[in-house]
Amino acid sequence: MDFNGSDTIPGPRTEDHLPHTAQAAVKIVIVGGFGVGKTTMVGSVSEIRPLTTEETMTQAGIGIDDNYGSDSKTATTVAMDFGRISLTEKLVLYLFGTPGQERFWFLWNGLFEGALGAVVLVDARRLEVSFDVMGRLEERGVPFVVAVNSFPDAPRYPLEELRTALDLAPEIPIVDCDVRRRASSKDVLMTLMRFLHSLALSGALT
Amino acid sequence: MTPPRRRRRRPQHLPAPPPPPPARPEGGSDSELRNLERLYTIAGPGDGGRAELDLVTLIVARSAPPPSASPEEAAVLRLCTAPLSVAELSAYLNLPFSAMTVLITELITAELVQARAPIVRQALPDRSLLEAVMHGLQRL
Ligand SMILES: Nc1nc2c(ncn2[C@@H]2O[C@H](COP(=O)(O)OP(=O)(O)OP(=O)(O)O)[C@@H](O)[C@H]2O)c(=O)[nH]1
Ligand SMILES: [Mg+2]
């Protein structure tokens, strides 16, 4: 990018500026296998046009730390869609949708560790594409809820059958949604927040 | 039709992830490293722990671009007249996240921008934050 033209760098539209009172931000991560609706969900609730940030992951980031800086390392670019919701004059929520190869998401420093929690989107026609990411969240102790996105011709499993198939503890919420609809995406986020609140009440979150 | 089945995984006590390799454009000098160290205390949450710039750390310009600012730095300072997250800066300037954090780190050290640290899960002081998020969402 030619920064000499920085007067013309596209920035937020004036109506998209955060107020100067904005003090802190929190984030929620939206995960799930290929094509389950992550980008659609970010777009349906965001107050700004969704943006994309990228990170380059090198071999070093995958745990081999002796060849960082060498030019022969393999590098992978990981991109994330994200959107924003201003919650109050002081508090801002960011939603990150994580596309592509799941093993790389967890290398993104602080993405999950710092998140309030995660939404796992599933497509009932292909439940298994979201299995791996659920396991990774469990391994890292990231609290999550499961949202079943409404695809045409998807089997409608009874809730308990779904819970058994996904091997989810009874307290983990499972909700139906249509993430193309803003109200539905908002309900999913509210479900996550109520779940986090209940964890906080029971002392499971410190 | 029966759905495919998954097996739940147990929490692992993973070692703390190593700090990311600083992705500076060219090789860095020792003094740059010291500046980085200094930054981590400045931008930190105030508990003495090292804090890194997060995707959602809010950045606010403290002054207009000085004549000495590089074009990239001037671009950041212009964008941050209102608070913007590191993720948004990275998106608007089309720079990878880690390159963006290096640039912002330099601006913090030069006292040209201020960083407003995010609230992360581990640091939740109480339920009031979660309640604030819920109330905010309800108003959408
Ligand atoms: N019927 C229906 N279609 C949906 C819904 N959500 C998303 N889609 C469609 O499904 C396709 C994939 O949605 P995306 O939001 O791109 O999915 P994604 O998870 O971001 O996909 P990747 O980033 O490629 O993994 C798009 O064509 C959407 O329009 C839904 O709730 N119902
Ligand atoms: Mg996508």
Ordered by start, the domain boundaries in chain A are 19-202
- Provide the phi-psi class of B94: left if phi over 0, else alpha when psi is between -120 and 50, else beta: left
- How many angstroms does the Cα of residue A5 sit away from the middle of ligand 1? 36
Residue of B114, B130, B135, B138 to mutate for A, most A C-beta atoms under 10 A:
B130
Q: Per residue of chain A (206 residues), give pLDDT as tens.
A: 545 544 566 789 988 999 999 999 999 999 998 899 999 999 999 999 999 999 887 654 444 444 444 455 677 788 899 999 999 999 999 999 987 666 777 777 778 878 999 999 999 999 999 998 999 899 888 999 999 999 999 999 999 999 999 999 999 999 999 999 999 999 999 999 999 999 988 876 54
pLDDT of residue B13: 72
pLDDT of residue B39: 31
User: By mean pLDDT, which of A18-27, A34-43, B28-37, B63-72 is the weakest?
Assistant: B28-37
* A110 chain-B contacts, CB cut-off 8 A: 52, 54-55, 120
What residues have CB less than 8 Å from A127, skipping those under 6 apart? A165, A166, B3, B4, B6
- Looking from the CA of residue A32, the nearest atom of ligand 1 is 19
**Does residue A82 or residue B10 have the better pLDDT?**
A82
Pocket test for ligand 1, best of A30, A34, A39, A150 (most atoms within 8 A of CB): A39
Proportion of chain B above pLDDT 90, given as a percent: 55
Its pTM stands at: 0.84
- How many angstroms does the Cα of residue A52 sit away from the middle of ligand 2? 10
Considering Cα of A29, then A35, then A40, then A41, what sign does the dihedral take? Answer: negative
Q: Say yes or no to pLDDT of B106 above 90.
A: yes
Q: Say yes or no to pLDDT of B31 above 70.
A: no
pLDDT of residue A48: 96
**Does residue A184 or residue B1 have the better pLDDT?**
A184
Domain ranges of chain B: 51-116
Q: Do B116 and A24 touch (CB under 8 A)?
A: yes
Q: Do B8 and A23 touch (CB under 8 A)?
A: no
Structure tokens at A30: 């939206």
How would you class B19 by CB atoms within 10 Å of its CB: exposed for 0-12, middle for 13-18, buried for 19 or more? exposed
Average pLDDT over residues B121-136: 77
pLDDT of residue A169: 94
Q: Say yes or no to pLDDT of B131 above 60.
A: yes
* A169 chain-B contacts, CB cut-off 8 A: 8
| Cα–Cα distance, A201 to B130 (Å, whole number) | 11
User: By mean pLDDT, which of A74-78, A192-196, B58-62, B75-79 is the weakest?
Assistant: A74-78
Q: Say yes or no to pLDDT of B41 above 90.
A: no
Per-residue b/e over A153-188, b at no fewer than 16 CB within 10 Å? eeeebeeeebbebbebeeebebbebbbeeeebbbbb
The CATH code of the domain at A19-202 is 3.40.50.300
